[in-house]
Structure 1
Amino acid sequence: MGSMAERDASDARRIYPSMTALRMLEAVSRLGSLHKASEAMFVTPSAVSHQLRNLEQMLGVKLISRAGRKVELTSAGNRYVQDIRKALEIVERANAPLGGSEPFGPLRINCASGLGSYWLAYHITEFLDLFPNIDLEITNETDRSDILNDQTDFSIIYGDGAWPGKHVQHLFTPRAFPVCSPAFLERHGRIRTPEDLVKLPLLHHRNQSDWVVWLSAASKKSFELSKGIMFSDVTQNINAAIAGAGIAIGDDILGRHALSEGKLVRLFDADIRGPHAYYIVTQKERMERRVCQLAIDWLSRWFQEYTLQTQS
């Protein structure tokens, strides 16, 4: 082992990035602009730009690229943010009890029924383990006039992202594919080709569009589909598939636990990008609430990490 003097000299040569610079880089990644990051951290845009330039010089790597007012992270910047975000979360959790600033108070989230039933119900305890003093309420309002009322902090909505005047943040876009129960397969036998599906009971959520798009992508053909069973709610659609009533178009999040538990099986490798995506939508002033921002950050990190895992 080296002497204490040698170890001290080695430690002195280590250069650690500024915590402020790391927080600013994370904010730029999350918010998508220097201006928004500066507002979130109560500094000027030039201060953010200066910190990021110093960070790039220290690391010897270009982290962001600028095109006019638009700012994007480079591939190296994206990889770096994924690691430092975890480190910042650890520091925040460690600091909270010491500073007596443990976040608390009510938080009301309105969540689309399918995501609430098949994802949020399984994972919400992970958030409450981090922030046990937050009083959480989860609703499932479907009327567009009610999902952003004065009592709701934010909503998780499946749609096209068009919410003028609101803070809108993309959460994830699902990948869809056919699923059915093992019991259904036992009754109907092996399904070898996409063409075999049109002869079997199909389950539909609201309309036949998902099936039409998937069959076209998987077989490069068009088919006349029988009506099958039409469901207005996606949870009814997935539960009917689990019960063996037919074959549904599931996706990588809503069907995740049923697939891992063997309640559903995936029929083909081919999948399609969902026609819409899940978005976090909230009144802009709600973003000032610490508990609201903590929940949105947690959701964003979870789906970012999930997306990276599924793409690797």
Structure 2
Amino acid sequence: MTSPRKLPPLASLRAFEAAARHLSFRKAADELAVTPTAVSHQLRLLEATLGLPLFERHIRRVSLTQAGAQLYPVLREGLDSFARAIAELSLQPQRSAVTISATTLFTARRLIPALGLFQAQWPQFALRLHASDEAVDLASGAADIAVRYGAGPFVGLTSEVLCQDRFGVVCSPALGLRDPADLTAATLIHSEWYRQDLQPDWRRWQALAQVPGLNVDAGLHITDESHAIQAAVAGQGVVITSLFLIEDELARGVLVHPFGPVIEGHHYHLVATERNMASADVEAVRQWLKAVAAS
């Protein structure tokens, strides 16, 4: 742990730098928008703190002592560096909104319903949702932060695990399914999976369940996973989908998860560049996303 800096008051240092640069208390006062008396007071305070005189005071002029001449260039360079850093920060483009990239289904089922929570807790920041099943280039600025599904690693990005996904059989309670064997008389709903690895489909589920006589190729084929879920809600059949993304339907009882087994999926990760992750608005979004994943 580093020791705290023991420095004189900043006001005294600023007064000294201005007075030393102008070699005039009056000009220093004009620059700092204070009275010459206030500058003189700050300089007396600084000299008392250091235990050294910094100026030789003559009639109508001042000059630096040896100690003052030693301190002035160091302090000038420090304040100049401070001013340059502030100027560079001021020139950086300010985000009108934090852009979050996430998969289409994650955006629709987890982010949009939770927008009110973000706006209530962080009203000073705005959000822009970018829904896509293709990963965007965060380094290019296409998005400020993203939710990625997969095993990683995410090269060049700071990442944090949000939660693990799990996939299971779900259907309308009106179908009355109680046992895996009931699937042989039910309509299996198939949807297209946007990733090639770890595909949570009926073939993979059947490898775990080993239901006798189950034809995993038959049934209703729907390209969009969200539409497949809606078909299940409408009682059109049974679908394998993310239990995490349909928690609302399960809680409301419009869908049920009548039996296992469950397919263990990858994790959802929160990812961003190191620079973005250090900003206050992206940090607010990070906290919100963690709350969304935990709810």
Q: Give me the TM-score of the superposition, normalised by structure 2.
A: 0.58
Query: Any conservation in 2 of the 1:155–1:280 contact (CA below 8 Å)?
Result: yes
Larger-gyration structure (1/2): 2
Query: Any conservation in 2 of the 1:176–1:250 contact (CA below 8 Å)?
Result: yes
Q: In the alignment, what sits opposite 2:100?
A: 109
Query: Any conservation in 2 of the 1:206–1:231 contact (CA below 8 Å)?
Result: yes
Return the offset for 1:293: 1.4
Compared CA separation, residues 269 and 224, structure 1 to 2 (3 A): closer
Q: Look up the SS of the partner of 1:129 in the other structure.
A: helix
1:248 maps to 2:239: yes
Number of equivalenced pairs? 200
Query: Any conservation in 1 of the 2:277–2:283 contact (CA below 8 Å)?
Result: yes
1:297 maps to 2:284: no
Distance 1:174 1:129 in 2: 28
Compared CA separation, residues 217 and 123, structure 1 to 2 (3 A): same
Q: In the alignment, what sits opposite 2:177?
A: 191
2:268 to 270, 275, 278: 278
Compared CA separation, residues 290 and 119, structure 1 to 2 (3 A): same
2:190 to 204, 210, 222: 204
Aligned letter for 2:189?
L
1:162 to 150, 153, 158: 153
Compared CA separation, residues 226 and 141, structure 1 to 2 (3 A): closer
Q: Give me the TM-score of the superposition, normalised by structure 1.
A: 0.55
1:92-118 CA deviation, whole Å, 9 max, x = no partner? xxxxxxxxxxxx952111121112111
Return the offset for 1:134: 0.7
Compared CA separation, residues 259 and 287, structure 1 to 2 (3 A): same
Query: Any conservation in 1 of the 2:172–2:256 contact (CA below 8 Å)?
Result: yes
Aligned letter for 2:188?
L
After superposition, where does 1:6-85 map in structure 2 within 5 Å?
Answer: none
Distance 1:159 1:291 in 2: 25
- Sequence identity of aligned pairs in percent? 27
Query: Any conservation in 2 of the 1:105–1:133 contact (CA below 8 Å)?
Result: no
Q: Structure 2: where are the runs of 5+ without partners?
A: 3-94, 194-198
1:105-149 CA deviation, whole Å, 9 max, x = no partner? 521111211121112122221122110111111111333345764
